[in-house]
Amino acid sequence: MGASEMGASEIEPLVSTAWVTERLSDPDIRIVDASYFVPGGIAPALQQYDEGHLPGAVFFDINDVAIPGGTKDHTFPTAEIFAAKVGALGIGNHHHIIAYDHMGGACAAARVWWMFRYFGHDRVSVLNGGLGQWKREGRTLETVKPVAAPATFAAKDGGLIVRDRAAMEKNIEAGTWQSLDARSAGRFAGTDSEPRPGLRSGHIPGSRNLPFAVLYDSATQTMKSADAIANAFAGAGIDLDHPITTTCGSGVTACTVALGAYLVGKTDVAIYDGSWLEWGADSTLPLETGPAK
């Protein structure tokens, strides 16, 4: 079933620009701009939002919807923090959230999609093609910031997250799950430097590599077909019938790979939230370089 045919009770993980345009006045829809830049973070994303965003969209700051003073800017929040922050954005449990960004969903709409699902809310979708597709089609943008009435959002913790680097280290020998790195091949191999200072180069031993960009059409930044996505996982040496934990630079594009897996039927992918920002900064932790072994 395509997104344009989606019924009220059937929430697709991806929705089209046309589908969203038809529902801009729907009171049950909440649109969030989840853009995040690497490097740059939130500041350029806010500037982009101010210059033009989808009608009615509020800005979803992944650094704000996070544990204050965590080990990184967007340390994964508790259920209590998440509920309070999204409620303040005017989002309740009855709303269908549409998340978009400037990279077709990779940074950080898929992260927002994954967060809502983690906290028990499956009425959430990613705008396929994101802001770029919206602009290419000449669709309406606005600069006014909507004032959202606070809403009540109830969140419950899920189980598909690895918060502890020790668990990732233990898995090197135990092999309880497949560790899948979403960074570029050069960063994975250690031949390209990291965009964040102070980090070692390489990857967690035993990891496989599936660069998130492989899942997108390079011209449109829309997600590729299910067959192409399944082939990408297979090409990376990943068995979709076995547990997977994804990792990346800081826990953002790892969620893009989780979204790709979801599109081909793998709905239980976990995220290592600390990702390379945590692992690469700790010289006591082992690493490998070169292609996946």
**Taking a C-beta distance cutoff of 8 angstroms, is the pair 41, 63 a contact?**
yes
> Rounded to the nearest 5°, which phi and psi values hold at 25?
-95, 5
Q: Which of 57, 106, 127, 248 is catalytic?
A: 248
The set of residues, in sequence order, having a beta carbon less than 8 Å from that of 89 and lying 6+ positions away, is: 30, 32, 58, 60, 148
**Taking a C-beta distance cutoff of 8 angstroms, is the pair 237, 208 a contact?**
yes
Do the bridges between strand 29-33 and strand 270-272 make them parallel or antiparallel, or are there none, so unpaired? unpaired
The set of residues, in sequence order, having a beta carbon less than 8 Å from that of 68 and lying 6+ positions away, is: none
Q: What is the C-alpha separation between 100 and 56, in angstroms, rounded?
A: 13
Would you give the end-to-end CA distance of the chain in angstroms? Answer: 38
> DSSP label at 159?
S
Q: What is the C-alpha separation between 107 and 103, in angstroms, rounded?
A: 6
CA distances from 74 to 100, 211, 241, 268, 271 (A): 18, 21, 30, 22, 13
> Rounded to the nearest 5°, which phi and psi values hold at 167?
-65, -40
248 is catalytic: yes
Q: Which two tokens stand for residue 212?
A: 């998130």
Q: What is the C-alpha separation between 122 and 114, in angstroms, rounded?
A: 9
Q: What is the C-alpha separation between 197 and 155, in angstroms, rounded?
A: 35
Task: Point out the residues that are catalytic.
Answer: 248
